[in-house]
Amino acid sequence: MVKKKACVFISGSGTNLKSIIKNSRDYNFPINISLVVTNNKTAKGIIFAKKFSIPYICLNTDQYKFEKIILKKLNENKIKLICLAGFMKILSKKFIRDFRGKIINIHPSLLPKYKGLNTFNRVLKSKDKITGCTVHFVDEKLDNGKTIIQKRVLIGSKDDAKTLKKRVQFEEYRAYTNAIHKIYELN
């Protein structure tokens, strides 16, 4: 199988990055992670790019410069899919339009519920019995594009933000993998 080249954008711990890289080593996985991008030089996730010998770029600058440099790198590396995984920098409408249908994101809730930050505390304050995660295409609005896949997690009466996050993240790794398979099955 000819794998498409993909890039993962991170800002933090990079556990989704790690999971995607591991899965991408599978012969039947439709993408190969050829590049990692971060805006945070202290992002723990950089360790996974290093560990798996994947080139990475760390760039902490204004949006215009960031996107100009990254766009050049994406084109040079023939990147066909951008996976956002805990990437905390806002991308411009132009950048998103230029990559329409080729940027996906993971969010720790069952969208359209709980868009934005601080998801777990807001979920716990609600009376919801179920939460989960969503992998979706990125459009110009925050946490808004078409859903590719969702995974559900039951909220226990003893859950706090930490325990819930742990269980949701476990589902995130499965969700991201399934979503990437799904995208290329549809194409």
- Catalytic residues, by residue number, are 107
Using rule CB under 6 A, residue 108 touches ligand GRF: yes
DSSP secondary structure, 53-119, as one string:
T--EEE--S-HHHHHHHHHHHHHHTT--EEEESS--SPPPHHHHHHTTTSEEEEESSSTTSS-SS-H
Using rule CB under 6 A, residue 178 touches ligand GRF: no
Using rule CB under 6 A, residue 13 touches ligand GRF: yes
Q: Which of the 8 DSSP states describes residue 2? A: -
Among 32, 77, 169, 178, binds ligand GRF (CB under 6 A): 169
Chain centroid to Cα 3, Å, comes to: 19
Using rule CB under 6 A, residue 14 touches ligand GRF: yes
What backbone torsions phi and psi does residue 139 show, to the nearest 5 degrees?
Answer: -120, -170
Using rule CB under 6 A, residue 16 touches ligand GRF: yes
Among 7, 9, 15, 136, binds ligand GRF (CB under 6 A): 15
Residues that bind ligand GRF (CB under 6 A): 10, 12-17, 45, 85-86, 106-108, 133, 169, 172
